Amino acid sequence: MLVALRKAFWLFGISVFLLIVFLPGYTKLQDLRDRNRDLEEKIKRLNIENSLLQQELARIESDSNYQEKIAREKMGLVRKGEVPIKIVPEPQD
């Protein structure tokens, strides 16, 4: 009976030792996996955004009407002889 109790105590002690040694590494591994998953999702989003921006750039380079639209809307440019009119909404109380 005493021998069985000693074996159980040693097995318990070894189990606790292994848990203390390997648990921090395991939790760090899980954290790194989570971070890797998050970064992969971010890469996917950035690839989609990059693709959309490349499509817009190709459209800007090839479509003169689109170039004019951007120049008028985003840069406020007008053709020679045109008078720009800016409509300012009334402030709401």
Q: What residue ranges do the domains of the chain occupy?
A: 24-69
pTM of the model: 0.57
pLDDT in tens, 1-38: 778 888 888 888 888 888 888 888 888 889 999 999 99
The answer to whether the beta carbons of residues 66 and 59 sit under 8 Å apart is: yes
Nearest 5°: phi and psi at 63? -115, 105
What Cα–Cα distance (Å) separates residue 46 from each residue in 28, 51, 54? 27, 8, 12
pLDDT in tens, 39-61: 999 999 999 999 999 999 999 99
